[in-house]
Structure formats: structure tokens, C-alpha cells
Amino acid sequence: MPASSRTPLVFLLAASLSACAAGGAAPDKLPLASTASGNFLSGLAAQRGNDPGAAAEYYGAALKADPGDPQLLLRGLAVALQDGRGDTATDLAGRLIQLEPGNAFATLTLALADAKAERYAEAEKRLATLRRAGPNAILVPMLIAWARAGQKNFDQAVESLETGGSPQAELTNMFQLHAALINELGGRTEAAEKNYRTVLTGESTSLRTVLAAGRFFERTGRPNEAEPIYQKFTERSADPIYVQVDLARARAKGTPPQPIGKASDGMAEALFDLASALQSERTGDLAQIYVQSAIWLRPNYPAAKLLLGSLLESEQRYAEANAAYDAAGSDATYGWSAKLHIASNLDQMGKSDEAVKVLEAMANEQPERIDALVRLGDLWRSKVKQPGPFPEYDRALAAYDRAVARVGTPQQQHWSLFFSRAVVLERSGRWARAEPDLLKALELEPEQPSVLNYLGYSWADQRLHLDKALPMIERAVELRPRDGYIIDSLGWVHFRLGNVEKALGYMEQAVELRPQDPTINDHLGDVYWRAGRRAEARFQWERALRLEPEPEAVPQIQKKIIEGLPPP
């Protein structure tokens, strides 16, 4: 393997982490093999199954037999960090750097180990050798700045952020935030305030920025300036849960949390920022490495625990995700969100009874909030895949009813609650109650395609208000032109209106977009029959049967195959 000092970190890691891309559930763990090659292959299998912990064990066993293999060391280093084994990663990085002195990943790992031990000068020397490309273009300037701050070289620290970053606006704001944190660490209050005010002028101020800036003003004896910062975020997010403790404290002129206490904590913030950015870029393995590194440097870091839980949850590693969420569950800012995720994951793991207990406890804990009750309703609704008078629908309805009772005067953000309740009512055969909820949801969010489609299709299916259903579904198609379900609805309302030729075009388009949906294929069969294409109609009905439609539709489709459609 060539020296890697000239290779961006993202590409350096690609060989080690590409085996994880296939995703899926972790396989049953294989026993350790007696050969290096056997353990290496088991490590690859564990990576493909999203089990970096097992992969670390297999690679570790393989390295005992072949300790000088740099590729094996690199893979072992990657999965060790991904699994949160910082000490193991440090050992592997030290061994790898002996074989490849320019290895960027090993260099970064050892720099973080130096920082954790507060050897900031050594950390800076290592970081200075890294090429600023790929993720390092963002990360290295921030880490160097914090390494300099750890040496109390605050002027140089801020300068490295001003001169070493990307010109992109969002990255500039990130560097401004870190400059503020560094200036505050150095007691440079005036400079910190300038940085905070600059970053607060951004169009989309993040929760972390709001908390950092607001708490700074509280700490400097200006809670009256912190309060509007928190209040503005609350109004924009329409949910006070994330800043309600801070807002209440600022109003009461209480004691705010302490600022970042040491440079390694600031480095953890930088790693967290990069992990957050990578989360949305389909690079979950790298994001895990960075967020686990942040937790390694700063073990008590609730925001990072929440992010780690989200990354693990996206890979369906629900038990591990809940362990991360549980570590953040007591935090005033992030704990509520963590508990909501815990409940959802328990349900995914087949532990629905435990999930219900968590959500009920949350509903009682915060009697003014509706989100736990909405999640409870969603949980019960997800248990039934077909219409009918099922007890799960009754439980879902009871949860949604309790949530609606807490709302008071409905606001725009409550459209989804009324929509969810309407779906349960309609699916359980209670249309008289479902229709007003759909109308309320549409009143609150007139341009919501899901509501436009559901109400319009329900009317068309019952041959009701076809003159209103048609423009509603046409608008839904404008909003979502590639949604096969909505295009099917448009075809269906035209079919109900007797516009067979128009219906045919939309139905054929819907089947192209959703070829495996039994209802859409059934509808196309109906349209073919009315168009006089009897053989094609029976073919579509037979196909719909093979696609396993809802049980109540089966006898109707079977009858159509034999007898065709009755006259209109």
C-alpha cells in the first residue's frame, strides 16, 4: 500500500468501510477462526452486517497471526473507532504509523489521543502534516485551532479558523462558532460576543448555535439578551422542548451551564459537526467514526450520543441505538427526543409492550405535550395493514383523541395529527368521523398532497363530491408528479366521472411508477374493461391477485375475473 499522506481521509477509508455499504441486519457471530485469513473473512462479513464490534474482534485475532499487515491494521483501526474503542484504535494507529509514517488516518487518531491526554503541542504537530482535502478540509483547521487553544495560543487559534477554512457560507458560520467558543475559553469576552453575533445572523441558526450563544449571554450577566435568542428558535421550530429549560432559566435569571472547559472538548465539538454533516451524505460509517471519536474525547456529550443513536438506528441496530439514546435520556435538552426514539426502537425490536410503557410514562410526565401520544397512536396504527374493526385501531384512535384534547386551538403543525386520526377512522369503517378530520387537516395545511389525495380519493371511491375531488387530486399531482399512488387517484376519479380515455392514461402511468401495487393493477383492470380491452383487464386482475391485495378485495377481484364489471 502506498504512503497515504497524499490521500484524502475519505478515500483512505473507502477500502476499509465499503464492505459496510450493503447494510442489513448483523449475522450470527461466527467463532474465531484458527487462521488469519479465516478471521479476516469473518471480519468482512461482520462489516457487511453492520457489526463493527465483531469485526474489530475478528481483525484483532487476524492481527495476532499477521501483525505487520498494514491493510489489516487500517481495517482494524477503522472498525475500532466506529465501535467506540478508542484505546484499541490508539494502539493500532501506533503500530500502523510505524509501517506507514505518512498514514493520514493513523496520524489523525494519534493526534486525538494526544489531545485526550492534553498533549496539545504534539497533537498540533501531527495535525499539521495532514492534507486538507475531503473531510479534512473542514476538520483539520478546527482541530488545529483547538490544539492551539489548548496551548493558550488563542490569537493563532482564531487565525487558523479565519485563514484555513472553506469560503462556503455554512462552513464560515461553523468556523465562527468555534472561534466564539475558543475566545470564550480564553476569556476574550468581547471577541467571543462578536463571533456569536455574526453566527446568529445566519438564515438557519442551529440548535447548538442558539444554545451556545444564549448561554454565553447568560454567563456574561445578560439573560435579557439570551431570552429572545431562545424565544426566536422556539417560534421557528414550533416546539419549545429543546430550549424550554434554557428559556425558563433566562427568564428566572438562573445560573447557566459552564462553557467548554478544555480544548479536547472543543475538538469533540468539531468532530460532532463533521459527523452531523456526513449524516445526510450517505456516509454513515464515517459519521459513526467521527461521532464515536467525539464521545471518546468527551464521554459526557449528550448531543453526540443522540447523533450516534440516530446513525445506529438508520442501520437497524436498534439495541445499540437505544444504549446510545439511553445515555442521553437524562439530558434536559436532548433527553425527550432520545426517549421518543427509544420507544420507536423497542417497537421495531418486537417489544411493543415496553414501547407503550415508555410513551405512556412520557405522556404523563409532560401533560401539555402531544408527541408521545401521537407516537403511541402511530405505533398501534402500524400493527394493522388492512381495513376493518381491529382493536389496534381502537387503541390508536384513543391515543390520537387524547392528543387532540391537548391541542386547544389547532395550529398549522397539527394537520398531521388530524390526518393520522382520519386514516384510522377511515380504515376502521368510521367515515362519518374521518371526513371532518380530513377537512380540518386540509384547512390547516391546504397544500398538503397527502391530505388532498386521501380526501379526494375517498370521495371518488364512494362516488361523492366528484366535482371537488378532481381539482384536489390534480393539485396533489402537481405537487408530487412522480407519486404513483396520487396519479392512480387522478385516474380513478376520471374513471368515476366516466372519462375512460383520460383515466387510462393516468392508470398506465401509475402502474409504471408502482408496478407491484395490487390496488393500482386492479384499478387498471377496471379501466381496461370499460375501454373494451377485456383480455388485458383480466390479465391485470390476475396480476393484482398475485400481488396479494387486502383480504377484503380478493373475492371482488375473483368475481371480476369470471364475470367482468357490471354495467355502469
> 3-class secondary structure for 474-527?
HHHHHHCCCCHHHHHHHHHHHHHCCCHHHHHHHHHHHHHHCCCCHHHHHHHHHH
Rounded CA-CA distance 13/367 in Å is 47
Rounded CA-CA distance 262/264 in Å is 6
More confident residue, 392 or 160: 392
Q: How many domains does the chain contain in total?
A: 2
Is 129 contained in some domain? Answer: no
Which stretch of 7-16, 149-158, 321-330, 353-362 has the lowest confidence by average pLDDT? 7-16
- 533 and 472 together in one domain: yes
- 564 and 485 together in one domain: yes
- 456 and 564 together in one domain: yes
Using DSSP's 3-state secondary structure scheme, residue 269 falls into helix
Q: Which domain holds residue 515?
A: 451-568
Rounded CA-CA distance 36/442 in Å is 62
Which amino acid is residue 215, in one-letter code? R
More confident residue, 56 or 436: 436
Q: What percent of the chain has pLDDT over 90?
A: 78
- 395 and 476 together in one domain: no
Rounded CA-CA distance 97/393 in Å is 60
Residue 175, number of CB atoms within 10 A of its CB: 24
Counted residue by residue, the chain has a size of 568
Residue 122, number of CB atoms within 10 A of its CB: 16
Q: Which of 389, 412, 446 is the last residue of a domain?
A: 446
Is 321 contained in some domain? Answer: no
Rounded CA-CA distance 331/343 in Å is 17
pLDDT, position 334: 94
pLDDT digits (tens, 9 = 90+) for 35-57: 777 888 888 888 788 889 888 89
How is the chain split among helix, strand and coil, in percent rounded to 5?
Answer: 75, 0, 25
CATH number for the domain harbouring residue 390: 1.25.40.10
Q: Which of 446, 465, 494 is the last residue of a domain?
A: 446
Which stretch of 229-243, 246-260, 323-337, 401-415 has the lowest confidence by average pLDDT? 229-243
Which amino acid is residue 560, in one-letter code? K
**Taking 90 as the threshold, does the pLDDT of residue 202 lie above it?**
no
Instruction: Tell how far CA 221 is from the center of its chain.
Output: 36
Return the DSSP state at 361.
H
Instruction: Please measure the distance between the N-terminal and C-terminal CA atoms of the chain and give it in whole angstroms.
Output: 74
Is 458 contained in some domain? Answer: yes
Q: For 523-534, what is the mean pLDDT?
A: 97
Is 319 contained in some domain? Answer: no
How far, in Å, are 239, 247, 328, 347 from residue 333 at the CA level?
A: 12, 11, 9, 24
Which stretch of 13-22, 315-324, 387-396, 546-555 has the lowest confidence by average pLDDT? 13-22
Rounded CA-CA distance 74/338 in Å is 33
pLDDT digits (tens, 9 = 90+) for 131-183: 988 888 889 999 999 999 999 999 999 998 887 655 455 557 889 999 999 99
Is 85 contained in some domain? Answer: no
Rounded CA-CA distance 497/380 in Å is 36
Mean pLDDT of the residues in the chain: 90
- 561 and 470 together in one domain: yes
Rounded CA-CA distance 288/491 in Å is 45
pLDDT digits (tens, 9 = 90+) for 257-290: 999 999 999 999 999 999 998 886 666 689 999 9
Is 33 contained in some domain? Answer: no
- 517 and 412 together in one domain: no
pLDDT, position 281: 63
Residue that the C-alpha cell 453566527 belongs to: 199
Q: Which of 416, 446, 476 is the last residue of a domain?
A: 446
- 387 and 487 together in one domain: no
pLDDT digits (tens, 9 = 90+) for 445-492: 999 999 999 999 999 999 999 999 999 999 999 999 999 999 999 999
